[in-house]
Chain A
Amino acid sequence: QKEVEQNSGPLSVPEGAIASLNCTYSDRGSQSFFWYRQYSGKSPELIMSIYSNGDKEDGRFTAQLNKASQYVSLLIRDSQPSDSATYLCAGGTRGGNKLTFGTGTQLKVEL
């Protein structure tokens, strides 16, 4: 069974700190990975996509992919209370359009 696994948290970080969210996947055929942010009562919002090994930065967000270790991470620098949400990791497969979602990590940024 193809799985994407995340620690459910909650992960608590102080305001201004770096939040590190991690995700592992079992399908070696996965070629694309995504991080979604979901506020309570809202739908998921795509915040980062990553397709190749290494780091990809967008503002305060950095996504990291290591295909050999089957590991994806999301770093949030200068965390703000508004970053408090559940972060969903998703993986897509080669030649397919479907995504497999992890269960999400709840992030709490404390004042």
Chain B
Amino acid sequence: SAVISQKPSRDICQRGTSLTIQCQVDSQVTMMFWYRQQPGQSLTLIATANQGSEATYESGFVIDKFPISRPNLTFSTLTVSNMSPEDSSIYLCSVELSYNEQFFGPGTRLTVL
């Protein structure tokens, strides 16, 4: 496995502001992913982030709302822009270490007031 960290671990934000979540892994990985998990729900993939290319977004998620950076093979950021209470959720990054095996960071718990 790998050691994956996320910052911040939790935050409370005001409506209309933006929050950038960082994901750091202790080894170089090609594929990183960003998920959202709303209370009591399963995981929904937001986007796939490959180093050196634009992130690929899933249906229902757009770059203007969730811009992603992937500057190198160990780091990625997800920004949640112009937040509303509906964005309150847990945001998780994951990395693929072997064939389709994904390992998750500890998550960022976001509350939007």
Contact = CB atoms under 8 A, between A and B. Distances in A.
B102 A103 contact: no
A97 B96 contact: yes
A99 B42 contact: no
Interface residues of A, number: 19
A102 B43 CA distance: 8
A69 interface: no
What secondary structure prevails in chain B residues at the interface with A? strand
Interface string B98-111: 01111111110000
Interface stretch (A10-18, A41-49, A71-79): A41-49
B22 interface: no
Contact of B42 (A49, A88, A98): A88
B92 interface: yes
Interface string A94-111: 000111011110000000
Interface of B: 1, 31, 33, 41-43, 45, 48, 92, 96, 99-107
Given A42-B107, A44-B104, 12 more contacts: A31-B100, A43-B92, A43-B105, A43-B106, A43-B107, A45-B104, A46-B101, A49-B100, A51-B99, A92-B100, A99-B45, A101-B42
Interface of A: 31-32, 34, 42-46, 49, 51, 88, 92, 97-99, 101-104
